[in-house]
Amino acid sequence: MKKFGLIGKDISYSFSRKFFQDKFNQLQIDAVYDNFDIENIQEFKTVLRKNKQLKGLNVTIPYKESIIPFLDELSAEAQQIKAVNTIKFVDNRLIGYNTDAFGFMKSLFPILEKQHSHALILGKGGASKAVADALKSMGIDYRFVSRNPQHNDFAYAELDEKIIHEHPLIINCTPLGTHPKVKESPNIPYNFLKPSHLLYDLVYNPAITEFLAKGKIRGCSIYNGKKMLEYQAERAWQIWNE
């Protein structure tokens, strides 16, 4: 029996296990998909040692960057983004890929309006790097917003009416608002949001996060990360079977 799974922390909520188990059932494939909830990245070695039949893994928060030193090779896209969310096992070698950029781009494209030419990316983790790569390829200017700003980043405290108005696309790449801490949201001045804004949250559980709800009150367009996850998961499945 083939085995696949998800590496992450506090991932009992994740949609991946059901998504892939349903796919295996539908395709009548003899395979299982397990969650590997680890406290630190060093435990990844134990996962590998105890699961010799693994053929592929997904990687989620907070290990998309720290997993890289454990891999033998990176795809060109993963090298460029410097984050991995998919691992393929080939002849005892671990190859890292990034399908987040693909999933984000495919989900964002149909909902973009002409005014969404400048974006704020909230957070600087592995997912934000994939989002930045996708925005760059789509010709959308972006600035990161971070608790520890560097170079050209904004600090959360810097965000004012002018900055919010100049960036009508705002993407939450932080885990704030994820179940069970559903009342959390990024600390931005929501009172400056306009109906022309599009708020995109990579979080998908709950479907309407506090971040999206605050945007909806201001008349903004809102979109969660469910479609992105489906698209990136399908791409991961293709990679595992290439």
Q: Express each pLDDT in 195-207 by its tens digit.
A: 999 999 999 999 9
Question: Which residues are CB-contacts of 31 (< 8 A; sequence separation ≥ 6)?
Answer: 1, 2, 3, 4, 24, 55
Whether 70 and 116 share a structural domain: no
pLDDT, mean of residues 112-135: 96
pLDDT, mean of residues 225-239: 97
pLDDT at 3: 97
> Would you give the end-to-end CA distance of the chain in angstroms?
18
Indicate whether 68 belongs to any domain: yes
Whether 197 and 106 share a structural domain: yes
Q: Tell me which residue range forms the domain holding 120.
A: 102-226
Let me know if 64 is a catalytic residue.
yes
Report the CATH number that the domain containing residue 202 is assigned in CATH.
3.40.50.720
Secondary structure (3-state) at 231: helix
Strands 73-74 and 93-97: parallel
Indicate whether 214 belongs to any domain: yes
Task: Look at residues 98, 114, 140 and tell me which one is the last residue of a structural domain.
Answer: 98
Q: Quote the mean pLDDT of the chain.
A: 96
Q: Give CA 121 to chain center in angstroms.
A: 12
Q: Express each pLDDT in 170-182 by its tens digit.
A: 999 999 999 888 9
Whether 89 and 164 share a structural domain: no
pLDDT at 13: 80
Secondary structure (3-state) at 138: coil
pLDDT at 54: 96
pLDDT at 157: 97
pLDDT band at residue 49 using 50, 70 and 90 as cut-offs: very high
Map 47-100 to HEC letters.
Answer: HHHHCCCEEEEEECCCCCCCCHHHCCEECHHHHHHCCCCEEEEECCEEEEECCH
pLDDT at 186: 98
Q: Identify which has the larger pLDDT, 15 or 224.
A: 224
Whether 74 and 117 share a structural domain: no
Whether 138 and 184 share a structural domain: yes
Whether 107 and 76 share a structural domain: no
Q: Give CA 229 to chain center in angstroms.
A: 8
Q: Which of 26, 86, 92, 22 is nearest to 60 (CA)?
A: 86
The two structure tokens encoding residue 210: 């506090």
Whether 135 and 149 share a structural domain: yes
Indicate whether 92 belongs to any domain: yes
Indicate whether 232 belongs to any domain: no
Whether 220 and 121 share a structural domain: yes
**Total count of domains within the chain:** 2
Question: Which residues are CB-contacts of 41 (< 8 A; sequence separation ≥ 6)?
Answer: 63, 66, 67, 70
pLDDT, mean of residues 99-106: 97
Whether 151 and 182 share a structural domain: yes
Q: Express each pLDDT in 22-34 by its tens digit.
A: 999 999 999 999 9
pLDDT, mean of residues 209-225: 98
Whether 178 and 62 share a structural domain: no
Indicate whether 110 belongs to any domain: yes
pLDDT at 180: 83
The two structure tokens encoding residue 102: 């693909």
- Check pLDDT > 90 for residue 18: yes
Question: Which residues are CB-contacts of 75 (< 8 A; sequence separation ≥ 6)?
Answer: 95, 96, 97, 98
Whether 91 and 119 share a structural domain: no
In percent, the amount of the chain with pLDDT more than 70 equals: 100
Q: Identify which has the larger pLDDT, 15 or 57.
A: 57
Secondary structure (3-state) at 170: strand
Q: Which of 223, 153, 165, 222 is nearest to 189 (CA)?
A: 165
Whether 163 and 57 share a structural domain: no
- Check pLDDT > 90 for residue 12: no
Task: Look at residues 45, 66, 98 and tell me which one is the last residue of a structural domain.
Answer: 98
pLDDT at 128: 96
pLDDT, mean of residues 36-50: 97
Indicate whether 164 belongs to any domain: yes
pLDDT band at residue 17 using 50, 70 and 90 as cut-offs: very high
52, 55, 64, 181: the active-site residue: 64
